[in-house]
Amino acid sequence: MSSFALGATFCRQLLAGFKVFRSTGRNLSLLEYQSKQLLDECGVSIQKFRVLAAKNDAGRLSDFQVPEYVVKAQILAGGRGKGHFDNGFKGGVHITRKSDEAVSLADKMLGQKLITKQTPKEGILVRKVMVAKSVDIVRETYLCILMDRDHNGPVLIASPAGGMDIEAVAEETPEKIKTVPIDITKGITRDQSSAVADFLEFRGALKEKAAQEIEKLWQLFLKVDAVQIEINPLAETSEGEVISVDAKLNFDDNAQFRQKRIFDMEEETEADAQEVEAAKNNLNYISMDGNIGCLVNGAGLAMATMDIIKLNGGNPANFLDVGGGVKEDQVLKAFQILLSDTKVKAILVNVFGGIVNCATIANGVVNASKAIDLKVPVVVRLAGTNAEEARNIIVSSGLNLIPATDLDDAATKAVFRGYCVRMARSSSPPRFNNYEEDPVFQNVNFTQDISEQMRVPKSIKATGEYFDERDILPGSANLNSWNYSEKIDMTVPDRIVVIGQEQHHVLGSGTRSAPREILLENSIMSKGDTGQVRVSTPPRTISLAEHYFPTASEADDSPRHDVDEDFGSTEAHGDGNRASARHPKYSSHAAELVISH
């Protein structure tokens, strides 16, 4: 999800019905100090501040003397105050009364990674620290202006319970949330701003100041083509001021052509590298948490593709819309971006050719596969303009590209192959690791389908050309050879029950006594003298001098019985003949086991 979508999600939860909408584009986000610079330019009341970008930069604070300093690490993530750095330093927000101590605190943050609930596990590198004048806050409120689809335009959201987890306010005390649709042609009127200031519980002269601040924020919203301005808190101070203490601004990428100065402020080191690379190639990309890479044309189809992947037990690794005018070189770039995500274990290409030519996509996929040397399976579903020609291109490519008949078929194949790749690359296969949490095994349709298709075979037939082990194994003159040109029928038992120690019982109609491997073992090793197999050091060689292996037809001549008498049972068949587990041929050919050290 884009940085804008992350920042705006909680605001949108406050709207009627608490519906959440995700942005399908990458939106510019600025650091806190950059947002405050823009607020200051529009006359919005803010704290005075300085920015430190290097250690031991005391000169930046030489002309900035205030009663109390607040030192804040600058990253695009919330929860900084409760975060910690990879060097062990606690907290990304600190307060001090001494300027030299403010510099010292900044030095401990700069060049270190800050880890919060909203950052990746490894944290985000801090390159700048804001040192601002600390304000004595009497009361905190919340204010946000953002574009909303439900209202077909901008809305203002306000709450007197600011400076805290606003999602919790919306859930626990929804009466403290006020939503005001804004007429884009009229803007925020004085009546609206006064009503909001009153709802925020500003009284007396502060009510007028708050109303003015709200109107200035609206003007900023229009001026910079913002999609969201969030002020938390909009604070009342002990000095009788109304100040925007913390600000987050997000901008519409479509306005980049007229907001060049603002977009040049972007810290690309803070942004998602894959999203930045995609934007340079006119691709809409948003990183997610799954392992199925998606390449789709059209935002709606991309969302539907992610949904059906989820329905089939998988998780999409991204949103990627290549657009309607995609070219082959963009397909290659899209593949490169997808594969730069190490979580991707399979790629699903889903294209409906309306404007775009399916053959263009197919050629792009084939050429990209050749150029990149793909190591993950690629499932391709193409429909629409020149779909049949595109399918022939995929099939005749000779590459490991998997065609799909429809979207459901494509999703099923992608999820299954992605899971197989994950199992193959895992040192501890997921089948035996966190089985209960695995979405594939927990998907009822998936497991039921596999169970219905898998059957235990009634028989196994081994076929092959004749060869002699003596021809391929040096020094194996004493080994017997089987004629593999003849089919060997092997009956699969219903079940095998190991009773204990050397008492083996094979159950099932038509089965033999003990398996041949067990009979062979017992004919070689005496049960009474275990010393023959106990060695102090591993032997260098073990050779079997002579042993007789009966053929399948010879074995058929042996007496049938259920239990081997040598294995501790005296049960016989209905014919009254006691079964002898050891066939005469076994006893007539002694085996000599030679262990050499």
What contacts 91, CB < 8 A, 6 or more positions away?
80, 81, 82, 83, 84
- Tell me whether residue 443 is annotated as binding: no
Confirm whether residue 456 is marked as ligand binding: no
Tokens representing 58 are 């005391």
- DSSP states along 438-500: -HHHH-HHHHHHHHHH----SEEEE------HHHHSTT-TT-----TTS-EEEEPPSEEEEEE
Q: 296 Cβ partners below 8 Å, 6+ apart?
A: 302, 305, 320, 321, 322, 349, 350, 351
Annotation marks residue 230 as catalytic: yes
Among residues 33, 142, 419, 586, the one annotated as catalytic is 142
Structure-token pair, residue 259:
């907001």
CA distance 483 to 469: 11
Strand arrangement of the beta sheet that strand 84-85 belongs to = 84-85, 113-115, 124-125
Angle at 154 between CA 150 and CA 159, to 5 degrees: 95
Helices (H), 48-165: 99-109
81 is in an annotated binding site: yes
> If you search the block for the tokens 């049938």, which residue do you land on?
560
Answer yes or no: 142 catalytic: yes
438: amino acid identity, one letter: D
34 is in an annotated binding site: no
Q: Specify whether the backbone of 383 is left (phi greater than 0), alpha (psi in -120 to 50) or beta.
A: beta
Phi, psi of 438 (to 5 degrees): -75, 120
* 409 in a labelled binding site: no
Nearest to 282 by CA among 322, 253, 320, 328: 322
- Using CA atoms, how far residue 578 sits from 502, 510, 556, 573, in Å, is 19, 17, 17, 7
DSSP state of 35: H
Q: How far apart are CA 273 and CA 340, in angstroms?
A: 10
Distance CA 596, CA 538 (A): 9
Question: In Å, what is the CA distance from 177 to each residue of 11, 60, 119, 171, 233?
Answer: 11, 41, 28, 10, 14
Q: Please, are residues 61 and 73 in contact by the beta-carbon 8 Å criterion?
A: no
How does strand 292-296 pair with strand 346-353?
parallel
- Annotated binding-site residue? 354: yes
CA 240 to each of CA 136, 138, 140, 229, 505: distance values in angstroms, whole numbers, following the listed order:
10, 9, 13, 24, 91
DSSP class of 316: B
Q: Where are the alpha helices (DSSP H) in 235-346?
A: 260-263, 273-280, 299-311, 328-339
Residue 422 assigned ligand-binding role = no
- Find the length of the chain: 597
Q: Is 85 helix (H, G, I), strand (E, B) or coil?
A: strand
Does residue 350 have a known ligand-binding role?
no
Contact 44, 216 (CB under 8 A): yes
Q: Which of 140, 213, 215, 230 is catalytic?
A: 230
232 has binding-site annotation: yes
Q: What Cα–Cα distance (Å) separates residue 174 from each residue in 16, 33, 200, 378?
A: 10, 31, 14, 47
Alpha carbons 282 and 265: distance in angstroms, whole number = 20
Annotated binding residues for substrate: 297, 354-356
Annotated binding residues for GTP: 47, 79-81, 135
Annotated binding residues: 47, 79-81, 135, 232, 246, 297, 354-356
Residues marked as catalytic: 142, 230
Annotated binding residues for Mg(2+): 232, 246
